[in-house]
Structures are given as C-alpha cells and as structure tokens.
Amino acid sequence: MKVGIFICDRYRDCAGGKCFRSAREREGGFARYPADEPLEIVGYTSCGGCPGGNIEYAPEEMLKNGAEAIHLATGLVVGFPPCPWTDYFKEFIEHRYGVPVVIGTHPIPEHYVKAHEALKSKEKVLGVTELMATPELREAYE
C-alpha cells in the first residue's frame, strides 16, 4: 500500500516522527493496513495554510507517486483549534482524485485527549475512534 500524508501548515516544520512511527507500527489511522504487507509513504506535505490551497494540487503528485490512499494527519484533528476544513478536504480529494482519504495518522497523544475533553471540540476530536487507542498507547505518543 502506498499513501500520502497532509499535515497542518502550522506544523509545517514537523519531521513526521509520530506519523512515520504509526505507519511502521500500524497504529492509529494506519491500523487498517495489514502488518504483513508493505506500507510506503509516497508524499508528505502541508495543506498550504488556511484554507488549504495545497489540497487542490498536491494529491495529483501523490497519485503520480503511486498513492492508493491519502491521510489527513492527526495534527489537523487535534490542534487548537482543530482544523475546520478536514471534512471538506476529505470530500474534495475523494471527489476530484477518486482516492480514499483517511482522517488521521498517529494515535491522539494523551494530553490532547485531556485538553479536548473540556472543550467544545470534544465530540469532533474524541469521536475519531480509530485514533483514540488505549491510554497507554496515547501516552507513548506524547
């Protein structure tokens, strides 16, 4: 399986450690892929900043590199505030490029879970069940 990853532009300097680790370990959004099959990340870029200008063009490059799915990184889900565009990004990419889009990469780190529990974003953030994992695994992604 070959995948591309979009991160939030406010994290554009992120080296991708948690995303790459979760891909290797098949955790979080990557748990859907069998551990006994190869998983290759063929694209890693930011959305381009609000409202996501890079979303319009970068998927094409990822597809040229063989992407069979595109992940919207966990940082788009858990940042303060969470990205208001993720649902639109997913719909747009799937419609325009015909490739499945997965919301999330690595499990949500525990401190984000605790913070969002007290905020209006609780249902949106904590509702991404695939990224919740166990408390121990969330702690491991701190």
> Would you call 93 helix, strand, or coil by DSSP?
helix
For the chain, state the CA radius of gyration. Answer: 14
Q: Which domains does the chain have, with CATH numbers?
A: 2-140 (3.40.50)
HSE toward the beta carbon, residue 141, CA cutoff 13 A: 30
How would you write the pLDDT of the chain (142 residues) with one tens digit per residue?
Answer: 999 999 999 999 999 999 999 999 999 999 999 999 999 999 999 999 999 999 999 999 999 999 999 999 999 999 989 999 999 999 999 999 999 999 999 999 999 999 998 988 888 888 888 898 889 999 999 9
Q: In terms of DSSP H, where are the helices of 3-142?
A: 17-25, 58-64, 74-78, 86-97, 110-116, 122-126, 129-132, 135-140
φ, ψ for residue 105, nearest 5 deg = -125, -80
